[in-house]
């Protein structure tokens, strides 16, 4: 077979998931409650088909077999997250020994099967007790997070060498404090910006702790969903709209993480509108001195914007959307099964931006993938023939390959996700996995893309 797209030696091939979305066992093994358990218990109707986080895909009980399935499809790396409320029920204080055993088992099993564990500390799942005292608005929660991070490094850092502080930290800001799709369902931009800022303080503290341990072959980073904001046209008004969008949704986390400081333009904008978060003495230095070692990039779809068509209602709450309108480009390519635009070149544009404006920071694609509703309609002879997913991955890999050829520092590609998992409010509506999961029996079945990916990983290209 001739390989047209060969990737650099040692390229990371695998997939990613998170604790709440995959483990299940939400009330087993001594786990405490997190905001998802609580929100589902109080408002189950807000979750697709009324499915909650209690059992999800049952990785907690099936991890051994699942790791064999990963191995079968050529994974050399895999990202999971630790559930804070499982490791430290309540979020502060004593470690739960059953959780330590579980995560030790998973990590050991992965390593025994030549799959490198990438471990993330926070994937949207705030322990309930900490949310009750203010969540990321509270400095006490930052301290609790720092201790949780330190504990995790102590417990698992002898074997785990790739750490992440947060996955898509902007999403709890958007979901929980602006657009009402995460608990606590607050709509208040000022509080949202405080949450965003405090998250970065927590991040920098965890980086500081990790670096103080001087683990020679260890790296710590953050995972950001970088969504290029393409302007409708080169009209200055459209360019301004896309620049503001980029400041709010990309640079708000990317700049402090990689450069150790916030973009001046963003600070000025928030100041003009009386939206600046409270800061403390020492924060600036903390951010400056604790930049990341490497970056995970999640990319699903582009954002297209145009200048605002109507003035914002002055009585409506302040929103980033006061400065731009979303733009539906005529003829854009769509994933019709999920309603998202597909724009493969976005991955290249992100990488070039990192190369040219962020010191070519070491990075990898930590999530990319295609959600599809009712995938069962594509079953032939018992297998989901997901050629659309193969095309999707291929298209993105081709652009990633080009970026690498042009000097971008990308080290791997992880699909979202390994097996169909629970997608927050969407529950099991959109399926993303290499393996499908039967929700009644929990049986796993490889999709066609899984077989295809095995070849890609084995040949280090396609
Ligand atoms: C990402 C997120 C994941 C997963 C995925 C697919 O933004 O990190 O948790 O839900 O979207 O919807």
Tens-place pLDDT, residues 325-367: 999 999 999 999 999 999 999 999 999 999 999 999 999 999 9
423 Cα nearest atom in ligand 1:
10
DSSP 3-state of 298: strand
DSSP 3-state of 8: coil
pLDDT of residue 1: 65
d(Cα 414, Cα 16) in Å, to the nearest integer? 6
Class in CATH terms, 12-459: alpha beta
d(Cα 451, Cα 435) in Å, to the nearest integer? 10
CB 460 within 8 A of CB 7: yes
Name the closest-CA residue to atom 10, ligand 1.
423
Cis peptide bond upstream of 184, omega within 30: yes
Ligand 1 centre distance from Cα of residue 124 (Å): 10
State the catalytic residues: 367
Residue linked to tokens 């032939």: 380
Pairing of strands 444-446, 334-335: unpaired
| DSSP 8-state class, residue 320 | G
CA atoms within 13 A on the CB side of 458: 12
Name the closest-CA residue to atom 3, ligand 1.
423
User: Which of 162, 114, 107 lies closest to 362, judged by CA?
Assistant: 162
Tokens of 399: 């652009």
Q: How confident is the model at residue 2 (pLDDT cuts 50, 70, 90)?
A: confident
What are the angstrom distances between the C-alpha of 327 and each of 4, 173, 235, 324, 341?
35, 23, 14, 9, 12
C-alpha radius of gyration, the chain, whole number: 21
Q: Which residues line ligand 1 (CB under 6 A)?
A: 18, 21, 167-168, 225, 298, 367, 371, 416, 423-424, 432
Max CA distance (Å), the chain? 64
CB 437 within 8 A of CB 66: no
CA atoms within 13 A on the CB side of 318: 14
Ligand 1 centre distance from Cα of residue 165 (Å): 16
Ligand 1 centre distance from Cα of residue 423 (Å): 7
Mean pLDDT of 91-100: 98
CB 431 within 8 A of CB 57: no
Most informative mutation of 423, 424, 427 for ligand 1 (most atoms within 8 A of CB): 423
Ligand 1 centre distance from Cα of residue 447 (Å): 20
Ligand 1 centre distance from Cα of residue 315 (Å): 32
Mean pLDDT of 381-392: 97
Torsion over CA: 92, 172, 297, 46 (sign): positive
Instruction: Sort residue 35 into left (φ over 0), alpha (ψ -120 to 50) or beta.
Output: alpha
pLDDT of residue 416: 98
Q: What share of the chain in percent tops pLDDT 90? A: 99
> Which tens digits make up the pLDDT trace of 283-334?
999 999 999 999 999 999 999 999 999 999 999 999 999 999 999 999 999 9
- What are phi and psi for residue 380, nearest 5 degrees? -130, 130
Full DSSP string of 188-220: -HHHHHHHHHHHHHHHHHHHHHHHHTT-TT-EE
Name the closest-CA residue to atom 6, ligand 1.
423
Beta carbons within 10 angstroms of residue 214's beta carbon: 7
Tokens of 305: 């914007």
Which residue spans within 55-161 are E strands per DSSP? Answer: 77-81, 116-120
d(Cα 432, Cα 425) in Å, to the nearest integer? 15
Mean pLDDT of 13-32: 98
Most informative mutation of 416, 421, 422 for ligand 1 (most atoms within 8 A of CB): 416
> Which tens digits make up the pLDDT trace of 155-187?
999 999 999 999 999 999 999 999 999 999 999
Name the closest-CA residue to atom 12, ligand 1.
423
Mean pLDDT value across the chain: 98
SS3 percent helix, strand, coil of the chain, rounded to 5, is 45, 15, 40
124 Cα nearest atom in ligand 1:
9
Ligand 1 centre distance from Cα of residue 106 (Å): 22
Q: What is the helix (H) or strand (E) element at residue 294, kind and residue range?
A: strand 294-298
Which residue spans within 91-240 are E strands per DSSP? Answer: 116-120, 162-167, 219-225, 229-231
């Amino acid at each position: 077979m001739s390989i047209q797209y060969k990737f650099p030696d040692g390229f990371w091939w695998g997939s990613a998931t998170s604790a709440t979305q995959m483990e299940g066992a939400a009330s087993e093994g001594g786990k405490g409650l997190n905001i998802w358990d609580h929100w589902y218990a109080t408002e189950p109707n807000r979750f697709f088909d009324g499915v909650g986080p209690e059992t999800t895909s049952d990785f907690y009980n099936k991890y051994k077999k699942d790791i064999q399935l990963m191995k079968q499809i050529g994974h050399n790396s895999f990202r999971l997250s630790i559930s804070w409320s499982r490791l430290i029920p309540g979020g502060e204080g004593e470690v739960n020994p059953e959780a330590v055993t579980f995560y030790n088992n998973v990590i050991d099993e992965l390593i025994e099967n030549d799959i490198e564990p990438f471990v993330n500390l926070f994937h949207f799942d705030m322990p309930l007790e900490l949310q009750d005292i203010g969540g990321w608005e509270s400095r006490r929660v930052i301290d609790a997070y720092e201790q949780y991070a330190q504990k995790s490094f102590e417990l698992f850092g002898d074997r785990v060498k790739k750490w992440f502080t947060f996955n898509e930290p902007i999403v709890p800001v958007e979901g929980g404090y602006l657009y009402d799709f995460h608990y606590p369902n607050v709509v208040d931009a000022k509080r949202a910006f405080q949450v965003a800022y405090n998250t970065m303080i927590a991040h920098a503290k965890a980086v500081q702790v990790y670096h103080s341990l001087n683990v020679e072959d260890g790296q710590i980073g953050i995972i950001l969903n970088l969504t290029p904001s393409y302007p409708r046209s080169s009209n200055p008004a459209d360019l301004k709209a896309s620049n503001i969008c980029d400041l709010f949704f990309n640079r708000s986390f990317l700049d402090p993480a990689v450069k150790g400081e916030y973009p001046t333009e963003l600070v000025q904008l928030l100041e003009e509108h009386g939206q600046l978060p409270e800061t403390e003495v020492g924060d600036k230095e903390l951010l400056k001195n604790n930049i990341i070692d490497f970056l995970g990039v999640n990319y699903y779809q582009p954002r297209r914007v145009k200048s605002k068509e109507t003035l914002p209602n002055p009585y409506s709450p302040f929103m980033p959307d006061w400065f731009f309108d979303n733009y539906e480009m005529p003829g854009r390519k769509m994933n019709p099964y999920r309603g998202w635009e597909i724009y493969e070149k976005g991955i290249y544009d992100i990488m070039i931006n990192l190369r040219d404006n962020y010191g070519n920071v070491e990075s990898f694609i930590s999530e990319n993938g295609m959600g599809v509703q009712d995938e069962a309609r594509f079953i032939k002879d018992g297998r989901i023939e997901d050629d659309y997913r193969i095309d999707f991955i291929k298209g993105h890999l081709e652009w990633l390959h080009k970026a690498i050829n042009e000097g971008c520092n990308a080290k791997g590609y992880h699909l979202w996700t390994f097996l169909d998992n629970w997608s927050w409010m969407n529950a099991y509506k959109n399926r993303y996995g290499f393996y499908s999961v039967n929700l009644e029996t929990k049986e796993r079945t490889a999709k066609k893309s899984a077989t295809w990916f095995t070849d890609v990983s084995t040949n280090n290209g396609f």
